[in-house]
Structure 1
Amino acid sequence: MKFVVHACCILFFSMAFYSAEGHAADNTKSRPVITWIRWDDPPIFINSGPFKGLGLLDNVEALVQKALPKYQHNRTDGTVPRVLKEAERKAEVCNAGWLDTAEWAKVFYFSKPFTVIPSNGVLLRESRLKDIRNLQPYSLQKFLDQKPNWKLGVGRLYGEGIDDVLIKNNYLKNPKIVTITTSLRVHQMIASDRIQYTLGYPFEAVYYNKLLDIQDSVIHIPLTDNRPFTNVVVACPKSPWGKKIIADVDKVLNNKELLEHISDGVDKWLTKEDRQRLGDPRRALMKKYYPNLL
């Protein structure tokens, strides 16, 4: 008799378990889906290695997903060109961090800015500072004109201002400019002195100094070709679906604790000096976009 009761209990709990599991599965299926696209560009997204998952946008993506439980969140890997192609065809794909420019606003809806970062500049070894002091104020064109024996390594888009200079200098065929497929390879070539400088964000220098244990540290030099700081936004395709997602993202961004966690994720990849430089721009961003949180 005890065995019969025990078996019935097992059957009851099994049925309850499978019923709950089925209900959870149904809930998952019934939730609308956002696919988040990411690209391997440390420390923006870090897909492998000792710092895997600790990138600036890894953090933003996780925080936004957690704040939007009514959606089912999927991930896909891609490249920056693929992000643009997905937006152009109005696929239901968003990305956790993009730059708000007039050109890209043609294909994306943007959220309110959730952080501000230093813009792309020149990255080079600290020991080379003595060789460029006469170039101040620094511009990319000065580097190309006055350092003709230096090699510049490039591998992606760098935004308004800098891209204009590269295009003007026919960077695909210019012997002073080397196209390199990955940021890791770029920094390995800087460390081995095969190229003298590259372009990028200050947090890239911090990341590769740590990853490659570079003794002659790579540093960031701001340029006059672009604005010193740039706002970062969530981007979704310019479609009714994308507009709705961005409206929901804007609601969850209106949270001081969430914005502070985003800033903390950025700060871990910045030098003390760059964190201090961001003080005023961050206060200006909060005053303009989140005055109710001050």
Structure 2
Amino acid sequence: MAFYSAEGHAADNTKSRPVITWIRWDDPPIFINSGPFKGLGLLDNVEALVQKALPKYQHNRTDGTVPRVLKEAERKAEVCNAGWLDTAEWAKVFYFSKPFTVIPSNGVLLRESRLKDIRNLQPYSLQKFLDQKPNWKLGVGRLYGEGIDDVLIKNNYLKNPKIVTITTSLRVHQMIASDRIQYTLGYPFEAVYYNKLLDIQDSVIHIPLTDNRPFTNVVVACPKSPWGKKIIADVDKVLNNKELLEHISDGVDKWLTKEDRQRLGDPRRALMKKYYPNLL
């Protein structure tokens, strides 16, 4: 009898807590929903850490897509996501937390053996690749942010024979491995993930571009509503914790090369100095 009573009390306690629904999308290694690395994505880690630090809320999850994330934000649904890019454009529809980490921005991803073919393109820009490598195919499958998207639009990417639209990141990297396309766009941690998943011997590497900022801050995002503003205020309080921020960085570093981790040293110190000076 006592067992059932305790269970009922726990259920009542859960129901009495306010709810945050966290939306996620299958985009390894940001979120990893299946396969040998399931649950080990960058934002899988952030989501779990933030939820654990906010026990006064009941935390629910829902699967979606990036377009659905935006649609939910526009209609001010009570839905947050554990990681979004801190840009002025996105700030029109989201309240943002303080940045909890910084990552290298999108760049060109290609096989390491091709480095010798692009030395003359330095400093690297997407337009140079499109102009000076006319026989190379570029595979794209999503938005890449300010700067890069501008170049794609300028080059009429949907009808450009040098650019192939591909539905999934997995398919993009399979086509790089088989040389059906010669390069794509993405984050360095995507290259690390697919090198491991597909056991690629001629490793795919990340080439930073001059089209965008070299680094991007990552934030928790909630809708621009009184509810969202309150959640973000609570998130900011729990982010002000050095151990939690270090655990977040560890989850990012898992999917970065030694060189990229070293590149992040100064940006990470700058982020801490600006947003968390009390933790230094």
Structure 1 distance, partners of 2:142, 2:135, is 22
Of residues 205, 220, 224, the one that matches 1:219 is 205
- For 1:273, what is the secondary structure of its paired residue? helix
Structure 2 distance, partners of 1:227, 1:16, is 60
Q: CA deviation at 1:225?
A: 0.2
Q: Deviations over 1:149-205 (max 9, x none)?
A: 111001111111101111111111111111111100000000000000000000000
Q: Paired residue for 2:179?
A: 193
- For 2:201, what is the secondary structure of its paired residue? coil
Q: Deviations over 1:198-232 (max 9, x none)?
A: 00000000000000000000000000000000000
Q: CA deviation at 1:55?
A: 0.3
Question: Quick check: 15-24 or 195-204, which moved more?
Answer: 15-24
Structure 1 distance, partners of 2:185, 2:203, is 15
Question: Quick check: 241-250 or 18-27, which moved more?
Answer: 18-27
Larger radius of gyration: 1
Q: CA deviation at 1:266?
A: 0.3
Q: Deviations over 1:68-100 (max 9, x none)?
A: 000000101111111000100000100000001
Question: Quick check: 187-196 or 171-180, which moved more?
Answer: 171-180
Where do residues 197-276 of structure 1 align in structure 2 (5 Å cutoff)? 197-276=183-262
Structure 1 distance, partners of 2:66, 2:6, is 40
Q: CA deviation at 1:17?
A: 1.3
- For 1:219, what is the secondary structure of its paired residue? strand
Structure 1 distance, partners of 2:152, 2:225, is 32
Q: Paired residue for 2:106?
A: 120
- For 1:81, what is the secondary structure of its paired residue? helix
Q: CA deviation at 1:115?
A: 0.2
Structure 1 distance, partners of 2:68, 2:132, is 36
Identity %: 100
Q: CA deviation at 1:30?
A: 0.8
Structure 2 distance, partners of 1:28, 1:170, is 51
Structure 1 distance, partners of 2:24, 2:179, is 31
- For 2:218, what is the secondary structure of its paired residue? strand
Q: CA deviation at 1:16?
A: 1.4
Q: Deviations over 1:36-80 (max 9, x none)?
A: 010111000000000000000000000000000000001011111
Structure 1 distance, partners of 2:12, 2:158, is 52
- For 1:235, what is the secondary structure of its paired residue? strand
Structure 2 distance, partners of 1:220, 1:60, is 23
Structure 1 distance, partners of 2:141, 2:63, is 18
Q: TM-score, normalised by structure 2?
A: 0.99
Structure 2 distance, partners of 1:69, 1:157, is 34
Q: CA deviation at 1:20?
A: 1.0
Q: CA deviation at 1:137?
A: 0.2
Q: TM-score, normalised by structure 1?
A: 0.95
Gaps of 5+ in 1: 1-14
Q: CA deviation at 1:278?
A: 0.3
Q: Paired residue for 1:36?
A: 22
Structure 2 distance, partners of 1:95, 1:218, is 29
Structure 1 distance, partners of 2:80, 2:165, is 28
Q: CA deviation at 1:19?
A: 1.3
Structure 2 distance, partners of 1:211, 1:40, is 15
- For 1:76, what is the secondary structure of its paired residue? strand
Structure 2 distance, partners of 1:170, 1:40, is 27
Q: CA deviation at 1:18?
A: 1.2
Structure 2 distance, partners of 1:290, 1:117, is 17
Q: Paired residue for 2:89?
A: 103
Structure 1 distance, partners of 2:141, 2:231, is 31
The alignment of Structure 1 onto Structure 2 pairs a total of residues equal to 280
Q: Paired residue for 1:137?
A: 123
- For 2:243, what is the secondary structure of its paired residue? helix
Q: Deviations over 1:84-140 (max 9, x none)?
A: 001000001000000011111000000000000000000000000011111000000
Question: Quick check: 254-263 or 160-169, which moved more?
Answer: 160-169
CA root-mean-square deviation: 0.5
- For 1:233, what is the secondary structure of its paired residue? strand
Structure 2 distance, partners of 1:167, 1:242, is 33
Structure 1 distance, partners of 2:204, 2:255, is 13
